[in-house]
Amino acid sequence: MTGQRRRRLWESIADRVVTPDHSGWAQAICAVSVATLATVEASALTLRAKPRVQEVLASSDGWSAKLEETQYTLGEGPGIQAFVDGGPVLVDDLAAEHARWPVFAEAALRLDAMAVFAFPLQVGAIRIGTLNLYRRRPGRLSADDLADSAVLVDLATTALLEHFDATEHAALDWTRPIGSYQDINVATGMIAGRLRISLDDAFARLRGHAFADDRSVLKVARDVVERRIGLDRFAEP
């Protein structure tokens, strides 16, 4: 049951990729989320460094881009909360949950947004950004859409972590949820601990090393965990 949902979503993303870079993948993920999720009208994928630093990597239309900008400008909203708390924030009726983000709710309702479903893109303590889904009518995300969203978030995270182009997209191991990439987490921690740098920096170096050697991050991480690559190899950024 894992494989089918993942495969279906992954293939429809791969079909839509126009430019094989992060922004191209993000654009495809937004397009697929709108085409696939029956209860969703628009979506946006945003990279965040801190709650107040963000870059809208892709949006399905101008409306969702505007809603993302609104959260950024106001410094509050479900997307920012999902990023800060590290868990999904599912708001099926913004008017009813007005008190949680009074200023954003006001602005969003003026833009006709009634429901927002925000998911963090993250691996453990490393937060990358958010995938936000919007609709103009209140209502819950269906169970099926929720499962699809969770997979899309996972695929988006994987796509942003690994590097690959359209010709080698088959190389991405879409069968494994990001949560199973435990070796990457352990390796990132080992590098951070040894070199006394942050997890974000440690992960950037792990990824840089993998890219430079044209290998997958997961394989390099395994070598680190099993000490086939010494931790001091990552001393130079």
Partner 1 sequence: MLGYVPEQHDFFTDALAEITGLLVSGERGEAVLQLIDEASMRVLGVAAVGMLVIDPRGGIEVVAASDEQARFVELLQSQVDEGPCRDCIHANEVINVPDLASARNRWPTFAPAALAAGFRAVHALPLRLGGRSVGGLNLLHTGELWLTELQQRLAQTFADLAVLGLSQERDAARRMERLAEETLGALNDRAMMGQAVGLVAGTLDIRPEQARMMIGLYARRNARSARDLAQAVIDGRLDLADLTVAASETS
Given the rule CB under 8 A, which residues bind partner 1?
Answer: 1-3, 5-6, 86-88, 90, 122-126, 140-141, 143, 146-147, 150-151, 154, 177-179, 181-196, 199, 225, 231
Cα 212–181–210 angle (5° rounding)?
5
Task: Give Cα separations from 50 to 10, 23, 25, 53, 55 (angstroms).
Answer: 29, 20, 22, 5, 11
By C-beta, is 141 or 210 nearer to partner 1? 141
Sorted by sequence, the CB contacts under 8 Å of residue 22 that are 6+ apart come out as 57, 159, 160
Nearer to partner 1, 72 or 101 (CB): 101
Minimum CB separation of residue 65 from partner 1 in Å reads 26
Cα–Cα nearest to 129, from 61, 181, 51: 51
- What's the first-to-final CA gap in the chain, in angstroms? 41
Q: In the bound complex, what is the minimum distance in angstroms from residue 179's beta carbon to partner 1?
A: 4
CB atoms within 10 A of CB 35: 12
The nearer residue to partner 1, 65 or 199, going by C-beta atoms, is 199
Shortest reach from residue 74's CB to partner 1, in Å: 24
Nearer to partner 1, 85 or 106 (CB): 85
Torsion of CA 37, 41, 47, 49, to 10 degrees: -110
- Cβ 143 to partner 1, closest distance in Å? 6
Q: Nearest distance from residue 76's CB to partner 1, in Å? A: 20
124 vs 208, beta carbon nearer partner 1? 124
